[in-house]
Structure 1
Amino acid sequence: MRRRVVSAAVLAVAAGLLSPALAPPATGHAASVIRVDDLNANRSAMFIDSPAMGRTIQVQVLHPAGGGSRPSFYLLDGLDPGATQSTWTNATDAEPFFRDKNVNVVLPMGGQASYYTDWISDDPRFGRYKWETFLTEELPPLIDDYFSGNGVNAIGGLSMGGNAAFTLTVRHPDLYRAVAGYSACPDTTIAQGATMFSIANRGGNPFNMWGGPTSPAWAEHNPALMADRLRGKTIYLSTGTGLPGPHELEIKPQLPENIFFGGPIEFGVNACVDTFAQRLRDLNIPARVDYSPVGTHSWSYWQDGLHDSWPTIAGAIGA
C-alpha cells in the first residue's frame, strides 16, 4: 500500500585533470523518502534523500490511479535530462500513453552526461555521481513500497539512457526481466570516443567516470563483453538510419547537436546496434531489433520506439 510523506572523443583530456574526491558520501542510513507530491491522479514526484549521491534526488512516477500491485519500468533520459520533468514527459506522449496501463513508469530526474553509472571520482562540474547505486539499490524498494510495486522490473532508455539500461542490466541481471534501448549503443568500446566527448562537451572530465581509455572499468561496464548475462531476458533495440523521415519538421526539445547532426549520429548508432545484434546472435540470445529505413537521433522517433516496444516489454513483466 502506497504511503505519503508530507514535508520533511575527448581522449586529449590530460590524466592530471582527475579531480580529487570530495567529501565522502553520507553513511549509516538507508535512502529515505522526504516527500511525495501528487502532480495529478497518474503522476507523482518523489523526493529521496540518497546517501550514495549525498543529496536529494527527484524521481517522477507515472502510475495507475487505482490500487493493486504492479511491475515497474525504469525509463532513463538522454544526455541532457529536463530540469523540472523528464524529457520523456516533456517531448513525448509517455504520460497519456501509460495512463491506462498497469505499470509504474519510473523517471529519474537529473544526471546530465552521467551515463547513470557510479563515477570513480567526484567531478568539479557535476559533483558526486553514484547513479548505479541509487538506481539499483536505493530506489527500487522505495518504488515498491510507495507505489505498490511487485518487485518485477524492466529498464529502458534513449541514447545515453539506453546505453546505461543495458549496462545496468548486465551488472544487475537479477533486477530486470527486460531491457530496451532506443537509438542506444550498448558497446562501450565502440562508443568510447563519443562517450568521452559528450561528457567533456557538457563541462565534465570524462576520466572521472571510469578512468582513462585504457582503464579496465570500461570493460567492466561493457554490455557487449557481458552479453551472456542477457540470456533469458527480453531485449528490445531500435534504430534509424540517419536519413530524414516523417518527423524532421516537428518542434521538439532536441539536443542542439541533434538538430544539425541527428542524421550522422543515428547513422553511427545504427552501425553499433547492428554489431551488438550480431553479438547476441552469435550467443544464440534472442532479441527484437527494429530497424527503420529512415529516422534521425530525435525525440519523435524515440516516441515511436516506445510505442513499438511496449507490447514486448509488457509481456515480459506482466503489465
Structure 2
Amino acid sequence: MSPPTSPARQQDRHHARHRARHHVRPRVRRAVATLAAAVAVLGAPAVQPAHAAAPQVPVFHDASGLTQVAGGSLVRRDTDFTLTVTSAEVAGPHRIRVFLPSGYAADPERRWPVTYFLHGGPGTVDDAAAVPALRSDDMITVVPDGGRKGWYADWVMQNTALGAANWETFHLQQVVPFIDANLRTVPERTHRAVAGLSMGGSGALHYAQARPDLFGHVAALSGGLDFGMAEVRAAVLATELNLPGVWCAVSSAAPGTCADYGPYVDSDAIFGSPYPVFGADRVWKAYDPAAPGNLSRLADTGITLYTGDNDLIEGYTARASHTVASRLDQLGIESRLVDYGDGASLAPTCNGGHTYACWAPAFADWVPRVTAAFEAASRRPGS
C-alpha cells in the first residue's frame, strides 16, 4: 500500500496538471486540425461541412410502361445514381444504374450518346462499378438489371417461380425509350451502343441484331455467343437449374464462392427444349447470336468481340467468338476480334480468365473507340 501524499505534494501535482492542460490542449487542437485537413484532401465525407448540398440528379418521370418505386432511388453522387422501377414485363422491382458525364449538369443544351451495359449472370447493376472506363465524360452509361439468369430474352415459360420474364421487351421497348424521355440523349442508332460480358455478351450481340434501328455499335466480351455449341446450351441449363460446379465461374461472385442463380426453373423455361430433335430447339436457333441469318443484320453496325482463352470458360467463349468473326468475314461484314489469350497482351492484371481483371481493361480499350465513333457520327453532314 502506498504512503499518504502530503498536502504540498498534492498542490504541486494540481499545478502540474493545470500547466499540462494549457500546454497540451493547443497541441491537440493543432493536431486535430491538421488531421481534419488531411482527411478532407482524401475526400472523406466525415469532414464535409454540415451545410454541403446533397447531390442533384435529373428528375425522372414514369414512361414507356415503367413506374418508379417511391424511395427506391440511391444517389451516390450527381453523376452516379440508381433508380428502381416496376414493369408488367418482368416480375418484381428492378434497378437501373446510370453514370452521367461530369459535364452533364453544367451544359444543359448538350445531348449525349448512350452505352447500355449488360451484366453477366448472376450479376447486378452494381457490377458496372468494377469497370472504371464506363464512367466516361464522353457518354451516358445505363446499366439495366438483367436478372440472375434472364439471358436477355423473352422466356418461353412465364409461370415459373420467377414469374413474368420478358427481359428483351423490358430493355428494348421500355428502358431505352424511358432513358431517352428523361435524359438529354442523342436518340439515334449512330449515338447508341450496347455492350455486355458473359451472359450479357450474348445479350448485347442479340440486341444489336434484334434492333439494328436502335444500336449502331456493339461489344461482346467473353460471351456465350454460339448457341449451336453444346457447352453454351449447357451453361444456360446450369443457370436455369441453379447447378453448382464449373459454372460457378460464370459470374462476378466473390472468389471461393459459388454463384447463386436464384430459384430453380424448368430446363425449358427460357428457350424451350435444348435438344435438336424434330425441331424442338427452334427457339434456340431463332435467338442464336452466331446464326448467319442473325449476323447478317449487323451489316451497318460497329462490332467488337473480346475473349481470352486461359481457363475452361474462356476456352468456350474463344471458340464462339472466332466462329462469329469467321461468319462475319464470310458475310463481308467488318468486325474487330481481340483474342488476348493469357491476357499478357491486354493488361498486367489479366490472366486470360473469365474475370473483371480482364473485362475492365478490355472496356478501357473499347470505350475510347466507341466514343470516337460517336464523335465521328456527329461530324457527318446532317447530324
What is the alpha-carbon distance in structure 2 between the residues aligned to residue 80 and residue 125 of structure 1? 16
Residue 312 of structure 1 corresponds to 369
TM-score with structure 1 setting the length: 0.79
- The amino acid across from 1:38 in the alignment is V
**Aligned: 1:32 with 2:98:** no
Q: Secondary structure at the match of 2:165?
A: coil
**Aligned: 1:286 with 2:334:** yes
Residue by residue, what CA displacement relative to the aligned partner does 1:118-150 show, whole Å, maximum 9, x if unpaired?
101125343321110011001111111222122
What is the alpha-carbon distance in structure 1 between the residues aligned to residue 146 and residue 224 of structure 2? 21
The question of whether the paired residues in 1 share the 8 Å contact of 2:195 and 2:201 is answered with yes
Residue 233 of structure 1 corresponds to 301
2:289 to 223, 226, 238: 223
2:222 to 180, 183, 188: 183
Q: What is the deviation of 1:48? A: 2.1
Q: What is the deviation of 1:5? A: 5.0
What is the alpha-carbon distance in structure 1 between the residues aligned to residue 131 and residue 193 of structure 2? 19
The question of whether the paired residues in 1 share the 8 Å contact of 2:90 and 2:167 is answered with yes
Residue 269 of structure 1 corresponds to 317
Residue 302 of structure 1 corresponds to 359
1:88-237 equivalences under 5 Å are 88-89=128-129, 92-94=130-132, 97-122=133-158, 124-151=160-187, 152-190=191-229, 191-200=232-241, 201=243, 202=261, 203-213=264-274, 214-225=280-291, 226-237=294-305
Stretch of structure 1 that moved more, 108-117 or 285-294? 108-117
What is the alpha-carbon distance in structure 2 between the residues aligned to residue 288 and residue 240 of structure 1? 14
Q: Secondary structure at the match of 1:150?
A: coil
The question of whether the paired residues in 2 share the 8 Å contact of 1:157 and 1:180 is answered with yes
What is the alpha-carbon distance in structure 2 between the residues aligned to residue 60 and residue 277 of structure 1? 31
Aligned length: 271
What is the alpha-carbon distance in structure 1 between the residues aligned to residue 60 and residue 302 of structure 2? 35
- The amino acid across from 2:197 in the alignment is L
Q: Secondary structure at the match of 2:164?
A: coil
Closer, same or farther: CA 197–157 of 1 in aligned 2, 3 Å: same
Residue 123 of structure 2 corresponds to 81
What is the alpha-carbon distance in structure 1 between the residues aligned to residue 205 and residue 341 of structure 2? 24
Q: Which runs of 5+ in 2 are unaligned?
A: 1-56, 244-260, 275-279, 343-351, 377-383
Closer, same or farther: CA 264–45 of 1 in aligned 2, 3 Å: same
Closer, same or farther: CA 281–41 of 1 in aligned 2, 3 Å: same
Residue 14 of structure 1 corresponds to none
1:44-55 equivalences under 5 Å are 44-55=81-92
Q: What is the deviation of 1:194? A: 2.3
- Percentage identity across aligned positions? 24
Higher RCO structure, 1 or 2 (CA under 8 Å, sep 6+): 1
What is the alpha-carbon distance in structure 2 between the residues aligned to residue 185 and residue 110 of structure 1? 15
What is the alpha-carbon distance in structure 1 between the residues aligned to residue 159 and residue 267 of structure 2? 9
TM-score with structure 2 setting the length: 0.66
The question of whether the paired residues in 2 share the 8 Å contact of 1:104 and 1:147 is answered with no
What is the alpha-carbon distance in structure 2 between the residues aligned to residue 44 and residue 312 of structure 1? 25
- The amino acid across from 2:198 in the alignment is S
Q: Secondary structure at the match of 1:143?
A: helix
What is the alpha-carbon distance in structure 2 between the residues aligned to residue 221 and residue 301 of structure 1? 27
Closer, same or farther: CA 93–192 of 1 in aligned 2, 3 Å: closer
Q: What is the deviation of 1:304? A: 1.2
Q: What is the deviation of 1:117? A: 1.0
What is the alpha-carbon distance in structure 1 between the residues aligned to residue 270 and residue 135 of structure 2? 36
Q: What is the deviation of 1:291? A: 1.1
The question of whether the paired residues in 1 share the 8 Å contact of 2:115 and 2:195 is answered with yes
Stretch of structure 1 that moved more, 204-213 or 118-127? 118-127
Q: Secondary structure at the match of 1:265?
A: helix
Q: What is the deviation of 1:108? A: 1.4
**Aligned: 1:4 with 2:45:** no
